[in-house]
Chain A
């Protein structure tokens, strides 16, 4: 049964339309990544799914009783707010301490239970956010650029962790990322967004789609994604597309 189904969704901020006629569906156990340039409406789409933004048109259907684990893009905890990892994790759901331990271990950071949130490193912090989202055994994880502030190795490890957790628990994932080269290998399906769904399909299909190249041909993210794609599949293309990406950037 479909976990999340979005049909004909439009989102407006004032007179400005950020999303138009967007449709997508996530099935159980599936890892779906949304990619798109800045201002393409990725975050608006996720906000609409969690109910933080009211759609101007269209409908969003969640499976009845769906348990959602949400990992925000960034979480600013004011330094005046003392809070331990344990308290933070049990803020929205009352769960026994054992479940906190288990979720932290799943997310790769056991033993942080008694630490102050303000003392965590960037990587630990993101993993605690992941653990908090996992604590209620969600059917789907929603991640909004969850690796901001991590270096490339850190975010690669973070996405590997998510992939491992989800393959183990059967939890579906819908995530936004700008780090295409890191994320694509873990995804079952990629949706390329730019106000509307430009193209959609397996990572390999999307990476070679002309719509995708038109969007990402100019940025570094695009160059890296092309690099990864070409590197994996055919070295001839390197010479065709590598320089063209460079030219476009200039």
Chain B
């Protein structure tokens, strides 16, 4: 079954959607969308370094994404507004990454594959890495779920119940780095933030509890991945962007329905 590249691609897309759903909910609730974007953009620098030192792209991208996320967390609240800080770091790391890639004269690399993903070229090993990473992220978030939610609502509430919100922040940061690393192959660094934010935002109107929102986001993400790939095959369009397009259409449709039913009520 895994011999078919479409099957592997679909499974890869669903794997990323499942990891991105609960994490994406926190990204939305905590207003970290730009933070996710910055972390993802930094990963291109990780890709360049991995290629230069001939190590696993997954490890390199994850390491740089993690360093980026930690740097942002450390610098937050020290002089610059968060969005300024992220704007500086996100785009400069992307630029440095692109420049670093150009130095790699010995290797011809397809930059587009890293910027927009190369989901149709997912190998069995890639698939194992993606599902392993996704399982790790889901397990981490499920394990800390209550604590993460509490510290999302209020730092003080977390402290008063004996939890350290800084640790929860670290867990989210780590999950983000892993998700970015596994999603590069699927949607590429430029569209990872979309896979985090769009399914979660689309699920908002359908859910009454945080848990329901995370599960719904997973379903929406998985449907987007499967339908996006199918559309890419039928219309011969780039796969990663097609997945994001389907997610965006679902987001718009669900909001339109919600808006109409609210007006009707």
- The residue that B154 contacts in the complex, of A68, A72, A93, with Cβ under 8 A, is A72
Q: Is the CB of A50 within 8 A of B160?
A: yes
| A91 contact set on B, CB distance < 8 A | 146, 149-150, 153
Q: Which of B28, B157, B207, B211 is packed against the most chain A CB atoms within 10 Å?
A: B157
| B149 contact set on A, CB distance < 8 A | 91
Q: Is the CB of B210 within 8 A of A81?
A: yes
**A-facing residues in B102-158 (Cβ within 8 Å):** 146, 149-150, 152-157
Of A22-30, A82-90, A191-199, the one contacting chain B is: A82-90
- What's the nearest-Cβ distance from chain A to residue B25, in Å? 8
Q: Is B201 an interface residue, CB under 8 A from the partner?
A: yes
- Say what secondary structure dominates the interface of chain A: loop
| A134 contact set on B, CB distance < 8 A | none
Q: Which of A76, A82, A142 is packed against the most chain B CB atoms within 10 Å?
A: A82
Q: Which of B156, B157, B207 is packed against the most chain A CB atoms within 10 Å?
A: B156
| B154 contact set on A, CB distance < 8 A | 72, 75-76
Q: Is A65 an interface residue, CB under 8 A from the partner?
A: no
Within the assembled complex, what's the spacing in Å between the Cα atoms of A187 and B149?
34
Q: Mark A48-81, 1 if CB is under 8 A from B, else 0.
A: 0011100000000000000010101101111011
Q: Is A47 an interface residue, CB under 8 A from the partner?
A: yes
Q: Is the CB of B150 within 8 A of A82?
A: no
Within the assembled complex, what's the spacing in Å between the Cα atoms of A142 and B157?
11
Using known A-B contacts A83-B209, A84-B208, A116-B208, determine if residue A78 contacts B155 with beta carbons closer than 8 Å.
no
- Residues of B in contact with A, size category: 20 to 34
Within the assembled complex, what's the spacing in Å between the Cα atoms of A68 and B158?
12
Q: Is the CB of A82 within 8 A of B201?
A: no
- What's the nearest-Cβ distance from chain B to residue A31, in Å? 19
Q: Which of A70, A76, A81, A88 is packed against the most chain B CB atoms within 10 Å?
A: A81
| B162 contact set on A, CB distance < 8 A | 51
| B91 contact set on A, CB distance < 8 A | none
Q: Is the CB of A142 within 8 A of B28?
A: no
Q: Is the CB of A82 within 8 A of B207?
A: yes
Q: Is the CB of A47 within 8 A of B156?
A: yes
Q: Is the CB of A50 within 8 A of B204?
A: no
Q: Is the CB of A70 within 8 A of B29?
A: no
| A78 contact set on B, CB distance < 8 A | 28-31
Within the assembled complex, what's the spacing in Å between the Cα atoms of A116 and B30?
18
- What's the nearest-Cβ distance from chain B to residue A47, in Å? 7
Within the assembled complex, what's the spacing in Å between the Cα atoms of A91 and B154?
12
Q: Which residue of A lies closest to B147 (CB)?
A: A92
Q: Is the CB of A80 within 8 A of B153?
A: no
Within the assembled complex, what's the spacing in Å between the Cα atoms of A47 and B165?
13
Q: Is A230 an interface residue, CB under 8 A from the partner?
A: no
Within the assembled complex, what's the spacing in Å between the Cα atoms of A51 and B162?
8
Q: Is B262 an interface residue, CB under 8 A from the partner?
A: no
**Which A residues are within 8 Å of any B CB, using their own CB?**
47, 50-52, 68, 70, 72-73, 75-78, 80-84, 87-88, 91-93, 116, 142, 144
A-B pairs, 6 with minimum CB distance = A70-B160, A52-B159, A92-B161, A50-B160, A81-B29, A82-B207
- 9 new A-B pairs (CB below 8 Å) besides A47-B159, A81-B210? A50-B156, A51-B160, A52-B155, A78-B30, A81-B213, A84-B209, A87-B211, A91-B149, A92-B161
A-B contact pairs, 22 of them (CB 8 A): A47-B156, A47-B159, A50-B156, A51-B162, A52-B156, A73-B156, A75-B153, A75-B154, A77-B153, A78-B31, A81-B152, A81-B153, A81-B210, A82-B208, A82-B209, A82-B210, A82-B212, A82-B213, A83-B210, A84-B209, A88-B153, A92-B161
